[in-house]
Structure 1
Amino acid sequence: MGDRDLAVAAVLRGHLTDGPACGELDERLAELIAAGRRGAEVSSPLEEIFERPALRDWVAAVRGDAHLRPPEVVAVARGDRGLAPDLQLPGPPGAVAAARFVCPAGDDLTWFRQQAGDPVPMCGTHHVALVPAPGGAA
């Protein structure tokens, strides 16, 4: 497993929802990313996580995107407003770039802001605010 799957794990960390199971998964992913960055073999445990039924399709979509964006971010970037056709404004929606944020203290968490008002989260590992990634939006 290479850097790309470590990056997918970092994106997954950034998009976990609240709850005890997510906290445990977040901690495990952080451990595996850190170990992988140090050169340890983490292919099997990461693949076990990636193949969980609740995550399998989401992870496959992230892996399949050239920019490693979650499917909900890709939908926003394509202009999918998520509204019924009769509620959408006329005209082409145009592409929307989602801002990518990363942990400045380590390369173990990636998060995409989908709307301007979304608050930027803290890194659960390093307890610092995420910062805009080099290259900005994706």
Structure 2
Amino acid sequence: MDEVVLDVARSIRPYLPGLVGEDASRIDQRLVALLGQARDGADVEEAVLGLLGESPATHAWAAAVLGDERHLPPDLQHRAVRSGDKAGYSPLANPHGGDPVDAERYVCPADGAYAWWRTSTGQEVPDCPDHPGVRLVAS
């Protein structure tokens, strides 16, 4: 079983409401069940890919993550060329030196079935939606 596919399933969960609206809860519940089966040793890769392929939005999101060498969510991937711009894009130089801070991945410590990306040190790390009161941890 491809661990990257399982990571896609974990990482898409916070994005589901924006991708599929009212269908988010149904898809999320199915993903949670499939991730639980994977923890028990079942090969759920095809089922996860099939579920994510049901919606054009989740299919495109998953394809973008699988196509990225770092497997980042699409909104966190570096854009080499701006839309409609033939010239290459490079971010402004940091006047304080150093590289920009990368997004940091957090997961549920209880079962690893939920992943969230922190894009700024000012963002508070949330609790896992599956385990209220259990704070996500850096992975």
Matched residue, 2:60: 57
Matched residue, 2:85: none
Aligned-partner residue type, residue 131 of structure 1: V
Matched residue, 1:136: none
Kindly indicate whether the alpha-carbon contact (under 8 Å) linking 2:128 and 2:135 is maintained by their aligned counterparts in 1.
yes
Query: Where does the alignment leave 5 or more consecutive residues of structure 1 unmatched?
Result: 81-89, 134-138
- Percent of aligned pairs sharing the same letter: 36
Residues 43 and 100 of structure 1, relative CA distance in 2, 3 Å threshold: closer
Kindly indicate whether the alpha-carbon contact (under 8 Å) linking 1:99 and 1:113 is maintained by their aligned counterparts in 2.
yes
How many residues are paired up?
A: 122
Choose which of 111, 119, 122 in structure 2 pairs with 1:117: 122
Kindly indicate whether the alpha-carbon contact (under 8 Å) linking 1:14 and 1:111 is maintained by their aligned counterparts in 2.
yes
Structure ranking higher on relative contact order (CA contacts 8 Å, 6+ apart): 1
Kindly indicate whether the alpha-carbon contact (under 8 Å) linking 2:6 and 2:45 is maintained by their aligned counterparts in 1.
no
Which structure has the larger Rg over C-alpha atoms? 2
Matched residue, 1:92: 93
Matched residue, 2:23: 21
Quick check: 1:2 aligned with 2:8? no
* Deviations 1:29-63 (CA, angstroms, capped at 9, x unpaired): 11101101212232332122221201112111111
RMSD: 2.6
Kindly indicate whether the alpha-carbon contact (under 8 Å) linking 2:34 and 2:44 is maintained by their aligned counterparts in 1.
yes
C-alpha displacement of 1:79:
9.5
C-alpha displacement of 1:73:
1.2
- Partners of 2:8 and 2:16 lie apart in 1 by 12
1:107 counterpart SS class: coil
Kindly indicate whether the alpha-carbon contact (under 8 Å) linking 2:17 and 2:24 is maintained by their aligned counterparts in 1.
yes
Matched residue, 2:135: 129
1:118 counterpart SS class: coil
TM-score using structure 2 length: 0.73
